[in-house]
Amino acid sequence: MSLISLDEEKESRNVEVGTDNPERRWYVVHTYSGYENKVKANLEKRVASMNMENQIFQVLIPEEDEVEYKGGQKKVTKKRIFPGYVLVEMIMTDDSWVTVRHTPGVTGFVGSGTKPIPLQPHEVQKILKHMGMLETKPKIDVEVGEYVRVKSGPFENFEGMVKEILADRGKLRVNISMFGRETPVELDYEQVEKL
């Protein structure tokens, strides 16, 4: 089980990405455009009032931070990634379906015909990562002094020795031999492979 903390609407909560229960899946719910917040609030109230906490776990509006500069001032606003859609983590039963489907503002589930289709785990991971809710720090299995080959970028196919690992930024400083001399370059973890 993986927990990711996020700061949403000035309150702290946890978003669970994976669980031990295979029936617990993420579904996409279609709403009237502009009603996503209202649907989220209404659905959370219905879940509590109908004692559905053991079947409907989380309601999430896919949003990302959008940075604007106006008059020299930085302004960060939330932008909907999928306007008109809300993600719901739930166990699909007749009761949970009715609870979600009859929430004011909900027009239906995304799926074929009347059968809702759950998102695949990799799709959920991708959406949460895009929202900045998953902090993924790439892992690297090289150490200072080891040799690597550059896989991509302007230095592709060059080889060099790792001089420094910048773990907080996901980068390496590598001395690459170019034109008969050592040239230090900064590369992302994904750009190199161990020799």
Question: What's the pLDDT at 13?
Answer: 37
The tens-digit pLDDT sequence of the chain (195 residues) is 333 333 333 333 345 555 567 889 999 999 998 999 999 999 999 999 999 999 999 999 998 888 777 766 778 888 888 999 999 999 999 999 999 999 999 999 998 877 899 999 989 988 888 787 765 555 677 889 999 999 888 999 999 999 998 877 778 899 998 888 889 999 988 888 888
Please count the CA atoms within 13 angstroms of the CA of 99 that sit on its side-chain side.
27
pLDDT of 12 reads 35
| Closest C-alpha to 56, from 10, 103, 11, 125 | 103
pLDDT of residue 83: 92
| pLDDT at residue 177, as a whole number | 85
**What is residue 139's predicted lDDT score, i.e. its pLDDT?**
64
Domains, the chain, ordered by start: 3-130 (3.30.70.940), 147-194 (2.30.30.30)
* 125 conformational bin, left if phi > 0, alpha if psi -120 to 50, beta if neither: alpha
Q: Residue 3: what pLDDT?
A: 33
